[in-house]
């Protein structure tokens, strides 16, 4: 036996063996968790849909006690979609709300388009500077719509724009939205409901769906469709899984650590208590929720952060690789920033379910998941090189990956069918299920790669910002 | 070198192996040998096949679900059209019940009763008087009411109970009162609140007392849900809801103003909405509004009834000691009195405000007094401008603004330099509401103040039209 053989026998084999166990263990653990989440979400969604049926929606719209809401819409170079978005928001059915659109130093015609479309007039309004934000150049009010305010400010990033919106807002609940968000008309009453039923609710999020392929008229989705591109369709499936299964399950155990910035509602005083959104943050939405959890657990204050599956916000998804890549890298940097910025929570029993379940899960599966997946891939080649491949197991592994992906996708579609049935044609459902067969080979590696780059960018200190999302407009 | 293919057998998996072998011997007898040789691999293969089986089943289930839902929706559309055409006119027309039942039983099978309940409920909500009574009688005859009563009493599903309660409320089924009162104590708040709504829809004074008493003792029912339930008590609240929602800032005591306003509004865009709402009331308001010559006289009568109506009980409850109802319950009532503008509650509220040592209760009363435009409470509110609690100071300034009493401008103006933003905001807003005198007060203050925050807020209000 040569010395090389000895090294291989004594070091390489044990190393590879150990890591094979590690990868297999990771795979089993993560997928078992996903299946468990699917089961929890199934029960929760059923309960929620029953709850909604038992309410008299007509009286909910008339209730004078519905808490007033300030909708905060940060916009940066959104000239193509901003007017339509505001029109959509103005049509919301809700007793009392104001729309605060924050123009975060756009270099395009965002402000000009708004001034022309809504007869905006500059005011001398002062505001309560409760959270530090960049200089506000002007506050505009609409002569046509009394509940529309536009804030023009020096560029400071999305978190800073939201903070300035909080300062200007006058109502006790704030709702963060993206400038390209299109809300269904009854969303606010549904998403505010948890705040009325339970005063410990401090934040609630709704579902995000992809608007690409839908027919939109006058700021409303009038016909639901699927995106034309395969990339868009993959994202439809991905969003269904993420919102209907993932977030619903974590919400039930009060372990929800993400509420999408595209549509989330918060108790303003609690957000102010923790100093608002973290300036310069890439994933300001998740970062805020993490801090809210940590702060309220440290104060031993009873609270609830919830997900409401029914209210839907439609948003434009990237349909080209470049923009998708930018988005996913930004999300990954944001995720790591939120998690690693609150390290004290990790496996700390003081933070309950957040410290012991939600945080570790997100750190392992979402934060460093791409690293583990790529490592597994490299390990496969090493195993193959040293002739250690147990081929039946590899086939089994691939088969299990595909089957699990299909299982999770179908599970989410069942939730959708059981409750909201927003995709009207059977062919749409078949297409979505069909895509989950190939998703593992096409879409998954792509997102893993972007997320891996995101991890690299995070640790090498690449700064994020708004990103250059090229929007087609609706 | 060792064969690497058996890497699964070493180390920490030994316990797992033994366990799996045991299972293979006991359960998977035909695959016994495979398990003995490669336990982990065989277990994994089994797991994957089970997963494939579950996935295939779910795939079929999705297809089944889609077909089932499509079929149900199509059926529902067809049946609703049919029932609207053939059944609804029979219910609304004065056809005798036996003739109706014959047609009904021909058209509707027993399996359709659940769907029929869904069909008829919205019509019940929009129907009043004889037609409603007739509808309910028919629903009783065909067993729909009994069915809902059964679900309320025996269903283990919270959702089904909540739905049954809602429907029984729509049916105004007096035989279900006992079950509904019991449902008020349900541990699920949706069932409890729906039960409260259902009982209040029946318009019984005694039930109102029971509902208030039970709801206030349930700490999980928020003030929003409490108010939502109470507002279902249509008999005396229609007018108040209308006045609060549609005519802002008009005290209920000013009868002539109300009459004139209502008469004016009936001729404007809001008119039809108001008429529909008032006509739905069992009171004769709808009739009055259709006949303008009678309006003033009859409306006077209604307001007199209203003054002596059931909600005076709220004030009685409030007068009781805290032991009976905790502060949280008292706040719910105070908010509600403020919202529905019960002017009779003003003396009680003032009395509680004098004694109250609880900040939350104080804030709630000040808000209510503002809503009630209780000008007689002004001296007391001026005292509260000095409170240590910033929310109390701000709310006192806000309430004083509602009275538009110029005498309050001076004490309020002290808050223009308050350290709290809301105090400054409400102080400026209140003074601004006082018309020309307020404007002069703000201008004078702007000249003398050195506080940049006070300057900012005053400038903002001076730039606004009055």
Of chain B residues 78-117, which have a CB less than 8 A from chain A? none
Domain termination site, one of B66, B100, B118 = B66
Separation between Cα atoms, residue B68 and residue B62, nearest integer Å:
10
Higher pLDDT, B294 or A225: A225
Which of B41, B51, B420 is the best substitution to test chain A (most A C-beta atoms within 10 A)? B51
Residue B450: strand, helix, or coil:
coil
For the entire predicted model, the pTM comes to 0.76
Q: Do A386 and B4 touch (CB under 8 A)?
A: yes
List of chain B residues whose C-beta atoms are within 8 Å of the C-beta of residue A20: 7
Q: Give alpha helix (H) positions in B187-284.
A: 189-201, 205-217, 223-230, 234-246, 255-265, 271-279
Of chain A residues 9-28, which have a CB less than 8 A from chain B? 9, 13, 17, 20
Q: Do A9 and B10 touch (CB under 8 A)?
A: no
Is A124 within 8 Å of chain B by CB? yes
Residue B367 has pLDDT above 50, yes or no: yes
Nearest to A124 among B2, B8, B463 (CB): B463
Residue B15 has pLDDT above 80, yes or no: no
**Shortest CA distance from A433: residue in chain B:** B59
The answer to whether residue B208 is domain-embedded is: no
Q: Do B48 and A399 touch (CB under 8 A)?
A: yes
pLDDT at position A120: 92
Which of B2, B6, B7, B74 is the best substitution to test chain A (most A C-beta atoms within 10 A)? B7
Model confidence at B9, pLDDT cuts 50, 70, 90, reads very low
Domain termination site, one of B43, B66, B89 = B66
Architecture of the A1-474 domain: Alpha-Beta Complex (3.90)
| Tens digit of each residue's pLDDT (9 = 90 or more) over B192-202 | 998 988 888 87
Q: Please state which of the ranges A378-392, B114-128, B270-284 shows the lowest mean pLDDT.
A: B270-284
| Average pLDDT of chain B to the nearest whole number | 73
Residue B30 has pLDDT above 70, yes or no: no
pLDDT at position B463: 82
Is B465 within 8 Å of chain A by CB? no
Model confidence at B17, pLDDT cuts 50, 70, 90, reads low
Residue B57: strand, helix, or coil:
helix
Answer yes or no: is the ipTM higher than 0.95: no
Residue B93 has pLDDT above 60, yes or no: yes
pLDDT at position B340: 66
Q: Count interface pairs A-B at CB distance under 8 A.
A: 135
Is B59 within 8 Å of chain A by CB? yes
The C-alpha torsion from A262 through A267 and A273 to A276, rounded to 10°, is 20
The answer to whether residue B421 is domain-embedded is: no
List of chain B residues whose C-beta atoms are within 8 Å of the C-beta of residue A130: 421
Separation between Cα atoms, residue B186 and residue B153, nearest integer Å:
11
Q: Do B69 and A400 touch (CB under 8 A)?
A: no
Domain region containing B259: 234-307
Is A55 within 8 Å of chain B by CB? yes
Nearest to A417 among B48, B62, B225 (CB): B62
pLDDT at position B271: 39
Model confidence at B233, pLDDT cuts 50, 70, 90, reads low
Tell me the domain boundaries of chain A: 1-474
Is B198 within 8 Å of chain A by CB? no
| Average pLDDT estimate for B69-73 | 84
Task: Write the burial class of residue B427 (CB in 10 Å: 0-12 exposed, 13-18 middle, 19+ buried).
Answer: buried
Element (H, E) at B25: helix B14-26
Compute chain B's Rg from CA coordinates: 33
Mean pLDDT of successive 10-residue stretches along chain A, which has 474 residues: 74 78 85 91 87 73 75 90 84 88 93 92 84 92 90 93 94 90 86 90 93 84 90 93 89 92 93 93 91 95 92 88 92 93 93 94 93 87 79 79 88 82 81 88 92 93 55 48
Residue B238 has pLDDT above 50, yes or no: no
The answer to whether residue B376 is domain-embedded is: no
The answer to whether residue B272 is domain-embedded is: yes
**What would the two tokens of residue B410 be?**
């001076």
**Min distance A320 CA to chain B CA atoms (Å):** 30
**Min distance B111 CA to chain A CA atoms (Å):** 20
Highest mean pLDDT among A253-267, B18-32, B254-268, B355-369 belongs to A253-267
Residue B276 has pLDDT above 70, yes or no: no
Residue B3 has pLDDT above 80, yes or no: no
pLDDT at position B34: 65
Which of A20, A49, A61, A126 is the best substitution to test chain B (most B C-beta atoms within 10 A)? A126
Q: Do B463 and A390 touch (CB under 8 A)?
A: no
Highest mean pLDDT among A223-232, B314-323, B353-362 belongs to A223-232
How many domains does chain B divide into?
Answer: 2
List of chain B residues whose C-beta atoms are within 8 Å of the C-beta of residue A65: 223-224, 227-228, 339
| Tens digit of each residue's pLDDT (9 = 90 or more) over B422-439 | 899 999 999 998 888 888
| Tens digit of each residue's pLDDT (9 = 90 or more) over B129-175 | 777 777 788 788 878 888 888 988 888 888 889 989 988 888 887 88
Higher pLDDT, A419 or B218: B218
pLDDT at position B55: 87
């Amino acid at each position: 036996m040569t010395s090389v053989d000895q090294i291989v026998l004594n070091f390489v084999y044990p190393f590879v063996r150990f890591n094979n166990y590690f990868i297999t263990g990771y795979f089993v653990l993560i997928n078992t968790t996903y299946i468990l989440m699917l089961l929890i979400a199934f029960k929760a969604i059923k309960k929620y849909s029953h709850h909604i049926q038992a309410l008299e929606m007509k009286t909910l719209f008339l209730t004078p006690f519905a808490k007033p809401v300030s909708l905060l819409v940060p916009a940066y170079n959104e000239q193509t979609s901003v007017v339509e978005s505001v029109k959509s928001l103005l049509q919301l059915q809700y007793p009392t709300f104001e729309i605060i659109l924050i123009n975060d130093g756009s270099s395009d015609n965002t402000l000009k388009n708004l001034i022309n479309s809504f007869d905006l007039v500059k005011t001398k309004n002062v505001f309560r500077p409760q959270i530090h934000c960049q200089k506000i150049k002007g506050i505009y009010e609409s002569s046509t719509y009394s509940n529309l305010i536009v804030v023009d400010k020096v560029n400071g990033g999305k978190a800073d724009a939201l903070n300035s919106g909080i300062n200007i807002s006058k109502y006790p609940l704030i709702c963060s939205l993206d400038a390209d968000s299109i809300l269904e008309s009854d969303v606010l009453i549904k998403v505010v409901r948890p705040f009325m039923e339970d005063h410990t609710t401090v934040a609630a999020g709704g579902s995000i769906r992809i608007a690409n392929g839908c027919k939109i008229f006058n700021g409303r989705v009038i016909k639901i469709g699927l995106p034309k591109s395969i990339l868009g369709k993959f994202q439809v499936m991905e969003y269904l899984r993420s919102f209907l299964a993932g977030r619903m399950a974590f919400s039930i155990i009060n372990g929800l650590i993400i509420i999408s910035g595209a549509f989330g509602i918060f108790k303003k005083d609690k957000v102010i208590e923790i100093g608002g959104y973290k300036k310069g943050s890439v994933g300001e939405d998740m970062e805020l929720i993490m801090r809210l959890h940590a702060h309220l657990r440290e104060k031993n204050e009873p609270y609830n952060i919830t997900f409401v599956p029914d209210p839907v916000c439609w948003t434009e998804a990237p349909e080209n690789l470049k923009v998708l890549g930018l988005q996913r890298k930004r999300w990954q940097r944001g995720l790591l920033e939120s998690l690693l910025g609150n390290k004290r929570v990790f496996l700390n029993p003081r933070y309950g379910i957040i410290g012991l379940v939600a945080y570790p899960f997100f750190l392992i599966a979402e934060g460093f998941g791409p690293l583990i997946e790529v490592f597994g891939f490299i390990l496969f080649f090493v195993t193959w090189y040293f002739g250690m491949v147990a081929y039946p197991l590899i086939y089994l592994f691939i088969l299990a990956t595909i089957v699990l992906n299909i299982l999770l996708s179908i599970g989410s579609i069942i939730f959708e069918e059981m409750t909201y049935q927003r995709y009207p044609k059977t062919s749409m459902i078949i297409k979505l299920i069909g895509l989950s067969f190939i998703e593992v080979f096409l879409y998954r590696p792509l997102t893993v790669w972007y997320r891996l780059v995101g991890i690299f960018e995070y640790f090498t200190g690449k700064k994020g910002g708004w990103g250059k999302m090229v929007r087609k407009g609706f | 070198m060792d064969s690497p293919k058996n890497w699964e057998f070493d180390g920490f998996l030994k316990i797992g192996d033994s366990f799996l072998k045991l299972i293979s011997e006991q359960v998977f007898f035909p695959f016994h040998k495979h398990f003995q040789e490669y336990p982990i691999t065989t277990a994994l293969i089994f797991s994957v096949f089970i997963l494939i089986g579950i996935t295939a089943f779910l795939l079929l289930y999705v297809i089944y679900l889609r077909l089932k839902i499509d079929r149900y929706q199509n059926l529902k559309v067809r049946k609703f059209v049919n029932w609207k055409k053939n059944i609804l006119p029979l219910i609304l027309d004065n056809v005798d019940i036996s003739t109706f039942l014959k047609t009904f039983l021909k058209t509707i099978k027993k399996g359709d009763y659940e769907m029929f309940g869904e069909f008829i409920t919205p019509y019940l909500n929009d129907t009043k008087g004889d037609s409603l009574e007739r509808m309910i009688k028919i629903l009783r005859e065909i067993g729909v009411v009994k069915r809902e009563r059964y679900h309320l009493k025996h269903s283990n599903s919270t959702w089904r109970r909540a739905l049954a309660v809602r429907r029984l409320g729509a049916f105004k089924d007096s035989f279900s009162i006992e079950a509904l009162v019991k449902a008020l104590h349900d541990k699920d708040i949706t069932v409890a609140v729906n039960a409260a709504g259902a009982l209040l829809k029946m318009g019984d004074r005694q039930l109102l007392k029971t509902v208030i008493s039970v709801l206030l003792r349930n700490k999980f029912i928020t003030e929003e849900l409490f108010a939502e339930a109470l507002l279902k008590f249509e008999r005396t609240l229609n007018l108040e809801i209308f006045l609060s929602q549609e005519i802002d800032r008009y005290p209920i005591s000013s009868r002539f103003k109300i009459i004139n306003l209502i008469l004016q509004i009936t001729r404007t865009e809001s008119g039809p909405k108001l008429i529909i709402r008032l006509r739905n009331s069992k009171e004769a308001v709808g009739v009055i509004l259709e006949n303008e010559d009678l309006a003033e006289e009859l409306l006077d009568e209604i307001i007199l009834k209203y003054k002596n109506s059931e909600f005076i009980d709220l004030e009685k409850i409030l007068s009781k000691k805290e032991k009976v109802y905790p502060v949280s319950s008292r706040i719910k009532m105070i908010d509600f009195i403020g919202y529905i503008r019960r002017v009779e509650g003003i003396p009680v509220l003032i009395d509680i405000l004098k004694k109250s040592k609880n900040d939350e209760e104080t804030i709630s009363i000040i808000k209510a007094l503002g809503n009630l435009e209780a000008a007689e409470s002004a001296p007391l509110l001026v005292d509260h401008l000095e409170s240590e609690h910033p929310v109390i100071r701000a709310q006192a300034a806000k309430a004083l603004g509602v009275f538009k009493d110029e005498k309050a401008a001076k004490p309020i103006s002290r808050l223009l330099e308050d350290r709290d933003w809301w105090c400054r905001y409400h102080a400026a807003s209140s003074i601004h509401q006082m018309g020309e005198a307020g404007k002069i007060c703000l201008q004078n203050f702007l000249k003398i103040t050195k506080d940049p925050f006070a300057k900012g807020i005053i400038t903002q209000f001076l730039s606004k039209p009055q």
